[in-house]
C-alpha cells in the first residue's frame, strides 16, 4: 500500500484488512471515473467506517468534510460586514497547526463571540470538524456550531519560516525569522473616522536578502533594536512602489526570538548599478550641488540637492530629498558616505542617477 492512502488506512486499520481496503478504494475509483483520484477514494471508503482524523498537510480544498486536531497559532480581529438582506454578520479567522503544517479556520457569527470575549487563546488545542474550500490564501476550513471541541493533546506545531528571497507579492500565511536591520520609527496618522492610528516600518534581513515589515497600532509600539531577531507568523505580502513588503495584520503574530539569524548588507559597486532597482552603495563624496526648493502638487515646499559619490569602480550623481538635505550641512568633499536602500534610475539627461527617498538610510562620516 502506497503512502498516499496508507495514512488514511491507518485511521481504520482495526476495522478492515489492508487488502480489503485497497480493493474498496479501486472499486470507488472505477465507479467515479475521472471525478475521483486514489486519495479521495480512500477518504470516502474510510468514512464508511466512521470519523477519520487527518494531519493538516493532507487537507485539500476538495477534501470536503474534514476532522483534525490542531493548536491555535494565531487569532484574527473580528470583522463585521453587512449581508445582502441588510443584517450584520461577523467573521474571524484562526490559524491552527500541527507537526505537519498550518491551516486557516473561518468562524462566523455566534462562533465569533469566543474570539471577542478572549475565550480563545493562542496555544489552545481543538478538534475541528468542518468543510474545506479554496480560500483567498489557500485551503480554508469553515466551522459550524458543534465543530469546535477543545481537547487535551500534546502538539508541537511546525511553523516553517520562509526565506526572504522566497517572498513574492500577494502571498498569505507568511512565516519569517529575521534580524532587525532598521527598527524604524512610530508614526501617527488620522483615520477616516477621526481616530489616530500608529504605523511603523521595520527592515528585516536574513542570509537571503531583506524586506520591509509594516506594523500597525499596538504592534508598532514594540520595543525594537538593531540586531534583534523577530519571528513573524501569518503575515501578508504586497507590492508597493515596485518593491515587495510584508504586513502584520490583526491575525499576525510578531514576537522576539532568541534564535540567531545571519545578515550582511550587500554593497553594490557603482559600475553595477542598473535603472529600476534598489541598492546599497558605499563610497566618498566627490561633488556637491546647491540646495533647490520646489513646490509640490499640494502646495507644500520640498527641497532637493545633488551630490556625487565615487568608489573604485565609478562615479554617480545622488539626489537627496527633503530631510536628507539637512545632512549635507557642513559636508566636505572626501567624506565617507553609505546609502542603504536607494533607487537607481535614468535621469533627465539619460544618465544613471541614484535617488534617496524616505526609506533610504543615509550616513556620512568626515574625511580621515
pLDDT tens digits for range 298-335? 889 999 999 999 999 999 999 999 999 999 988 999 99
Residue ranges of the chain with pLDDT lower than 70?
Answer: 4, 34-35, 50-51, 137, 158-159, 251
DSSP state of 110: G
Nearest residue to 68 via CA among 120, 158, 122, 128:
128
- The crossing angle, in degrees rounded to 10, of helices 3-10 and 38-47 is 10
What percent of the chain lies above the pLDDT cut of 70?
A: 97
Alpha helices (H) along 194-253: 217-220
- Is residue 204 within 8 A of residue 227, CB to CB? The reply is no
- Is residue 275 within 8 A of residue 344, CB to CB? The reply is yes
pTM of the model: 0.60
As a whole number, the mean pLDDT across the chain is: 87
How does strand 336-346 pair with strand 352-356?
antiparallel
pLDDT tens digits for range 168-212? 887 777 889 999 999 999 999 998 888 999 999 999 999 999 999
CA distance 64 to 62: 5
CA distance 209 to 179: 11
C-alpha cell recorded at residue 125: 488545542
DSSP state of 194: S
How does strand 361-365 pair with strand 138-150?
unpaired
Amino acid at each position: 500500500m502506497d503512502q498516499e492512502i496508507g495514512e488514511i488506512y491507518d485511521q481504520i486499520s482495526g476495522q478492515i484488512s489492508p487488502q480489503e481496503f485497497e480493493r474498496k478504494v479501486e472499486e470507488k475509483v472505477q465507479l467515479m471515473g475521472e471525478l475521483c483520484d486514489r486519495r479521495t477514494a480512500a477518504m470516502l471508503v474510510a468514512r464508511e467506517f466512521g470519523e477519520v482524523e487527518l494531519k493538516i498537510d493532507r487537507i485539500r480544498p476538495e477534501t470536503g468534510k474534514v476532522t483534525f486536531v490542531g493548536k491555535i497559532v494565531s487569532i484574527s480581529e473580528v470583522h463585521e460586514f453587512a449581508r445582502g438582506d441588510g443584517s450584520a454578520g461577523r467573521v474571524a479567522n484562526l490559524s491552527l497547526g500541527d507537526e505537519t503544517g498550518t491551516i486557516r479556520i473561518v468562524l462566523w457569527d455566534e462562533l465569533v463571540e469566543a474570539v471577542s470575549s478572549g475565550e480563545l487563546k493562542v496555544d489552545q488545542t481543538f478538534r475541528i470538524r468542518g468543510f474545506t474550500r479554496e480560500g483567498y490564501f489557500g485551503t480554508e476550513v469553515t466551522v459550524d456550531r458543534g465543530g469546535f471541541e477543545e481537547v487535551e493533546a500534546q502538539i508541537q506545531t511546525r511553523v516553517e519560516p520562509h526565506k526572504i528571497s522566497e517572498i513574492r507579492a500577494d502571498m498569505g500565511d507568511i512565516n519569517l525569522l529575521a534580524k532587525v536591520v532598521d527598527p524604524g520609527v512610530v508614526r501617527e496618522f488620522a483615520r477616516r473616522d477621526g481616530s489616530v492610528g500608529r504605523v511603523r516600518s521595520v527592515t528585516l534581513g536574513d542570509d537571503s536578502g531583506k524586506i520591509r515589515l509594516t506594523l500597525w497600532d499596538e504592534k508598532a509600539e514594540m520595543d525594537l533594536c538593531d540586531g534583534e531577531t523577530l519571528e513573524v507568523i501569518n503575515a501578508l505580502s504586497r507590492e508597493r512602489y515596485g518593491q515587495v513588503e510584508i504586513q502584520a495584520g490583526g491575525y499576525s503574530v510578531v514576537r522576539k526570538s532568541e534564535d540567531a539569524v545571519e545578515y550582511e548588507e550587500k554593497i553594490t559597486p557603482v559600475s553595477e548599478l542598473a535603472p529600476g532597482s534598489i541598492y546599497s552603495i558605499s563610497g566618498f563624496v566627490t561633488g556637491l550641488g546647491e540646495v533647490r526648493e520646489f513646490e509640490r502638487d499640494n502646495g507644500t515646499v520640498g527641497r532637493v540637492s545633488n551630490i556625487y559619490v565615487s568608489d573604485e569602480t565609478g562615479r554617480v550623481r545622488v539626489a537627496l530629498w527633503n530631510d536628507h538635505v539637512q545632512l549635507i550641512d557642513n559636508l566636505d568633499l572626501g567624506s565617507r558616505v553609505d546609502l542603504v536602500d536607494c533607487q537607481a534610475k535614468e535621469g533627465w539627461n539619460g544618465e544613471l542617477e541614484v535617488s534617496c527617498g524616505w526609506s533610504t538610510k543615509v550616513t556620512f562620516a568626515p574625511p580621515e
